[in-house]
Amino acid sequence: MKHMTNVARAASWKTASSRSERSERIRSALLSAAAEVVGEVGYAEASVTMITQRAGVGQGTFYNYFKSRQDLLDSLLPDLGEQMLDYVRDEAVGGSGFRDLEEKSFRAFFGFLKSTPQFPRILNEAESFAPAGFQKHLDNVSKRYIRFLQRSMKNGELQDYSEGELEVVAYMLMAARSYLSQRYMSPDGRSVELPRLAADAYMKFVLYGLVGRPPEEK
């Protein structure tokens, strides 16, 4: 998510061609500003004043789009999560089979973090400060991940799993991405650099597990 000044944000909606487009741009600017503010100071310190100043709108305008500060905070992670999912999907286009698609999407997740470095903090603090948004995000991501695993199963892959186990698999892989993003975050929390070794180890684990199949099943 590229940083945009409040002047640029204001200009973006002033040039909107319709009232609905202007409304959509203002709401997007508020969410974008909130992401920056929460990424910098955390949920607890992020105030409506800080967010509206960053977005370049008046506080009265804020309440035309969100019922309260908490309403915005609960909307923040799901909004960013949808952006992340769309980015990962677009980057994985052209992948073939589970192995290729999983590796592309894994690397794309960390590519998204480079452009949106505030995402890990927003995700990790959400459970405490925006629980409704946190749960919605988990539901959104897990549902899309499960659909991907179901398609792989229908294509003859993942034969060692039942369909009922796919939700468990999805949450394990989601957790791996989250914790790896924390492990490889820079000391100042402003970037995540995933070493090739880590990406290779992740794929080795996904494909072969810790001990592989029992000898009699190979």
Q: Note the Cα 143 to chain centre separation in Å.
A: 14
CA distance 148 to 161: 14
124-145 pLDDT, tens digit per residue, is 999 999 999 999 999 999 999 9
In this prediction the pTM is: 0.86
Does residue 101 have a pLDDT over 60?
Answer: yes
Does residue 2 have a pLDDT over 50?
Answer: no
Q: Which residue has the higher pLDDT, 94 or 167?
A: 167
156: left (phi over 0), alpha (psi -120 to 50) or beta: left
- Output the six-digit token pair for 153: 């199963």
Average pLDDT over residues 44-51: 97
Structural domains in the chain, CATH included, are: 6-66 (1.10.10.60), 70-217 (1.10.357)
